[in-house]
Amino acid sequence: MSQQDLHLDDFISRFQLLRPQPGRATLNQRQAAVLIPIVRRQEPGLLLTKRSSQLRKHAGQVAFPGGAVDSSDASLIAAALREAEEEVAIPPSSVEILGVLPPVDSVTGFQVTPVVGIIPPDLHYHASVDEVAAVFEMPLAEALRLGRYHPLDIHRRGNSHRVWLSWYQHYFVWGMTAGIIRELALQVGIKP
């Protein structure tokens, strides 16, 4: 599949037909979820945020809307939808859930489940000023281009850990966010 012919129907079909493969075992116990919002267009977009520089953790980083599961959340999907509404005012009822990717461990001790959903193109985002500095959209075809991600191996506490790095316009996309996007590309059959 090439990025030039990536249309929303193609993406949805490929995501649903190519079942997510179990990832490596996660070690973290605390649960979190993020929404991977795909904007419904003929040539779809990927909605991302830049976190506020005032936050204690991951300040200024590009991220998906999401966060820790609360006791009030009925599921991981409910947690992702709640966080997306809190952070960028995406109404949960406007999200068409496609499914989830295998969870990944965060460096802050969470097991994070990426939830893939389709959102309408005409939403008016209202970023939470406490949490989000910017909301932007990257063309999905560009986001899923595997050649844009570059590996960096980090050694921390005696363990080797690979992170992925990329740029889009003036946004530095790296770490867990870049890794999740890359996994999504592999999930829908983009070849490395």
Name the nearest CA neighbour of 9 among 42, 51, 36, 37. Answer: 42
**In contact, 68 and 82? CB cutoff 8 Å:** no
pLDDT of residue 143: 93
The answer to whether position 35 is within a domain reads yes
Q: What is the mean pLDDT of residues 33-53?
A: 90
Global pTM reads 0.86
What is the spatial distance between Cα 65 and Cα 87, in angstroms, rounded to a whole number?
Answer: 6
What is the spatial distance between Cα 14 and Cα 6, in angstroms, rounded to a whole number?
Answer: 10
pLDDT of residue 32: 92
**In contact, 98 and 15? CB cutoff 8 Å:** yes
The answer to whether position 139 is within a domain reads yes
Locate tokens 């889009």: which residue?
A: 168
**In contact, 141 and 63? CB cutoff 8 Å:** no
The CATH number covering residue 65 comes to 3.90.79.10
Report the domain count for the chain: 1
Which band of pLDDT confidence, cut at 50, 70 and 90, is reported for residue 108?
confident
Q: Could you read off the pLDDT of 133-174 as tens digits, one per residue?
A: 788 999 999 999 999 999 998 887 787 878 898 988 988 888
pLDDT of residue 158: 81
Locate tokens 């910017």: which residue?
A: 134
Average pLDDT of the chain to the nearest whole number: 85
- Domain range spanning residue 128? 3-143
Residue 43 has pLDDT above 70, yes or no: yes
The answer to whether position 185 is within a domain reads no
Q: Could you read off the pLDDT of 53-104 as tens digits, one per residue?
A: 665 665 568 889 998 899 999 999 999 999 999 989 999 999 999 999 988 8
What is the spatial distance between Cα 93 and Cα 176, in angstroms, rounded to a whole number?
Answer: 27
The answer to whether position 187 is within a domain reads no
The answer to whether position 166 is within a domain reads no
List Cβ neighbours of 3 (8 Å cut-off, separation of 6 or more).
Answer: 141, 142, 144, 145, 190
What is the spatial distance between Cα 88 and Cα 81, in angstroms, rounded to a whole number?
Answer: 10
**In contact, 79 and 162? CB cutoff 8 Å:** no
Burial class (CB in 10 A: 0-12, 13-18, 19+), 93: exposed
Residue 3 has pLDDT above 60, yes or no: no
The answer to whether position 48 is within a domain reads yes
